[in-house]
Amino acid sequence: MFGILGRYVLREVIPPFCLAQVVFTFLLMLDPLTKRAEELIGVGVDLGDVLQILATVLPYSLGLTIPMALLVGVLMGLGRLSGDREMVAMQACGIGIFRILSPLLVLAALAAAIDCYLLAEAVPDANRRFRETVFRVSANRAEGEIKPRVFQVDRFPRAVLYVREVAPDGWRDVFLADVERPEQPDVYVAEWGRVAVDEERRTVAVTLRNGERHRVDPAVPAAYEVHRFDELTIQLDGSSLFPDGGLARAVNELSIRELREEAAAMRAAGTSPHQPIMAIHEKFSIPVACIVFVLLAVGLGASSRREGRLASFALGIAVILAYYVMLYLGTALAKGQWLSPHLVRWMPNAVMGLAGAGLVWWRSRSNEPHAALPWLASQASRPAEAPAAAEPADLPILVRVSRAWPGIGLLDRYVTQIYLRWMTLAFVGLLGLFYVITFLDLSDKLFKEETTLLKLLEYFWYATPQFVSYVLPVAALVSTLVTVGLLTRTNELTVMKACGISLYRMAAPILCFSLLWSGLLFTIGESVLARANRRAEALNREIRTGRAQPFGTGDRAWLVNEDGDIYHYLHFDAAGPAVSGLSVYELAGRPWSLTGRTYAAEASFQGAWKGRGVWSRVFPTAAGGATTYDHGSEQRLPAVAPPAVFSAELPEAELMSYRELERHVVELRALGFDVVSLVVELHRKASFPFVTFILTLIAVPFAVTIGPRGALYGVGAGIVLAFTYWIVLSVFGALGSAGVLMPATAAWAPNLIFGAAAGCFLFSVRT
């Protein structure tokens, strides 16, 4: 169809296009893979459901990444042709730029058609399946096993559940608080309980037996109500538990017909329909960007300069960033009613399309065949120059080989030079991708003037250590594959073996650098990563919500002290220390019941707790007694636990160093918390830095196998291996958090599995 030349150009473009597609999709899926998947598996969701949820996210990711991957693929393919001077040879043979462009436009049209189908048809269907799957998963989570002595804060809507013991037929010693009024929640204490979910009606009901209900009006604490019951069923609001239980669907979840109906309804209601209108045009403008990007890539890449593939990759990232800057700028202008919503989605295509068409026209004029052939003819008609005088023969040549460091020879320096060059390129390129994707995620806040460029740059600064921890292992893997692959492809490794140098000796400097990267990862984790992540998390919340939300330990709201008393508070200030809206529930007896309750509007600690707006009640037990009530403007609270109990916040492992997390695990275990997931994260902080060494071990023999295929296959293989490692890491982490595996086993198992595979490869490959 295209002839030999067309097929040759496509063979050069399609492999880097597929590689870029894998890289971009991997980076977009990295967050749901490492966080959402592990969280779902950890709460008992089947692996099949997790994969189904991830599969429903894939169409939208592909819809965004196909044009970007096509741009990078064309630039890298033409960069290879330019780097090897094949583009100059084509021009000398009279092949114009339009001969190169025609097969690429056909490829762009095919990619645009696939992308249009994904955005117009597959994405809405995938989002509907996503809601249905999440509904089923939510129902399973609600009816699944409740962990004992752990507060279930987010599992049920407007309710907090605490269970002291879990039995096959239900729960024992149940504490349930209805927190619709956070300042004074209704409290249920029962001997037995369980939950039931009706999927058809989308309702959640909690059944309690042999218990009592406590209710108090905050304005009138003396009017306290206690109701005994033998059995009580509490209906909870299912709409907040299940995402599609009557909630409005997002704009990007609607089909074209539904978007038109939404726009008509908004016009009838007198509101601006710019959102659905832009969503309709986006389903066509992004696919058309495939053709625009091909024009731009041919205009930029079809040159006689020797940039190579990696320079072309960097150029592609810059073009993508410029495209999305214009896209989000147009969105901001449409929301401000400066531009029509029918035009803003096409503005980047128009600007870059004109630029691409102009570059292609300029290339066609500057690379005309008649411009090259006369020069060749004039060169051929010139008289031959006299040969240079021959050098005197048989002159002795002195070669001095110096050793810069003891034990480090010429071979080590040669391998190190190649390895570090590729390591630098891979590290900078992948780190740049993280910056670009993060900017695309947050740029709408900038263009809506909800944040500032300085705030965005500050977030990038504090997020860089986390990006480095993600990028460094992948860059080490890719650089090892490419280095060993190049030595294999150029037969240099064969020459080394013939000279008695084994594969192990050749790879020694690479393995030493991998240990250095492992030490660097651990050092970053123990020195700056925790503090940087805390600040980055606070900045991310501020950028997304528009208000500062400082990171701290004062918003957990529920805890249990050593005596089994339950504390509820609205806010804890560790600097005071002070606490507001404090309620203390004293529970004891069999059946389990509330024996005392104390409330303080505010309390401060100065050697002992002193409260203001205090009232307390003591309830009769099974042995007898009478209810007593006491209140006062200011009272001492000697029974309240010290401030250290309030500051023992359940931490997020990413926001803590190894030592901080270890200290918190010890404290929380002493307080009776379930710390299995935190112990898994603790072991993972020690095991994860070794990932660079493990992946390097497996990359060395793997690169010998794929080496003859070139560096590009090494990059692709590196991405696949990294993706596989992260899947295994997430699965084992979730199994450890769920208690299926021991925490140490769950954290170290990925390294052991990949290390064993590396050993098998190393001992099986010819050295």
Residue 760 vs residue 467, higher pLDDT: 467
Lowest mean pLDDT among 291-305, 464-478, 503-517, 572-586: 291-305
Name 629's bridge partners. Answer: 617
| Of 603, 471, 446, 374, the residue nearest 27 (C-alpha) | 471
Total domains, the chain: 4
Which of 598, 630, 647 terminates a domain? The answer is 647
End-to-end CA distance of the chain: 45
Which residue range forms the structural domain that includes residue 187?
145-236
Q: 3-state SS of 167-227?
A: ECCEEEEEEEEECCCCCCCEEEEEEEEEEEEECCCCEEEEEEEEEEEEEEECCEEEEEEEE
Quote the CA–CA distance of 495 and 4 in Å, as a whole number.
Answer: 36
The continuous run of DSSP H or E covering 422 comes out as helix 410-447
In a domain, 404, yes or no: no
Q: pLDDT value at position 190?
A: 92
pLDDT surpasses 70 at 653: no
Judge if 574 and 667 occupy the same domain.
Answer: no
Quote the CA–CA distance of 2 and 464 in Å, as a whole number.
Answer: 46
Quote the CA–CA distance of 674 and 39 in Å, as a whole number.
Answer: 16
Q: pLDDT value at position 516?
A: 93
Judge if 545 and 563 occupy the same domain.
Answer: no
Judge if 599 and 493 occupy the same domain.
Answer: no
Judge if 540 and 607 occupy the same domain.
Answer: no
* For range 482-506, the mean pLDDT: 83
Q: Is 477 left (phi over 0), alpha (psi -120 to 50) or beta?
A: alpha
Judge if 471 and 543 occupy the same domain.
Answer: yes
Name 190's bridge partners. Answer: 174, 211
Which tens digits make up the pLDDT trace of 430-482? 787 778 777 766 766 766 667 788 888 888 899 899 889 888 888 888 888 88
Helices vs. strands in the chain: H and E counts, helices first: 23, 12
Contact 677, 742 (CB under 8 A): no
Residue 163 vs residue 28, higher pLDDT: 163
Name 212's bridge partners. Answer: 189, 228
Lowest mean pLDDT among 617-626, 648-657, 748-757: 648-657
Buried b (16+ CB within 10 A) or exposed e, 654-668: bbbbbeebbebbebb
Which of 647, 682, 700 terminates a domain? The answer is 647
Which tens digits make up the pLDDT trace of 261-283? 888 888 888 777 777 888 888 88
Judge if 333 and 272 occupy the same domain.
Answer: yes
Q: pLDDT value at position 515?
A: 92
| Of 641, 743, 757, 740, the residue nearest 685 (C-alpha) | 743
Judge if 8 and 113 occupy the same domain.
Answer: yes
Judge if 548 and 454 occupy the same domain.
Answer: yes
Judge if 35 and 99 occupy the same domain.
Answer: yes
Judge if 130 and 151 occupy the same domain.
Answer: no
| Of 538, 564, 470, 603, the residue nearest 175 (C-alpha) | 564
pLDDT surpasses 80 at 402: no
Lowest mean pLDDT among 28-37, 260-269, 754-763: 28-37
* For range 176-184, the mean pLDDT: 77
Which of 625, 647, 669 terminates a domain? The answer is 647
Quote the CA–CA distance of 171 and 166 in Å, as a whole number.
Answer: 5
Judge if 548 and 662 occupy the same domain.
Answer: yes
In a domain, 732, yes or no: yes
Judge if 716 and 672 occupy the same domain.
Answer: yes
In a domain, 568, yes or no: yes
Which tens digits make up the pLDDT trace of 708-749? 555 555 566 666 777 777 778 777 877 777 677 888 888 888
In a domain, 524, yes or no: yes
| Of 299, 281, 308, the residue nearest 352 (C-alpha) | 299
pLDDT surpasses 90 at 110: yes
Position 36 confidence tier, pLDDT thresholds 50, 70, 90: low
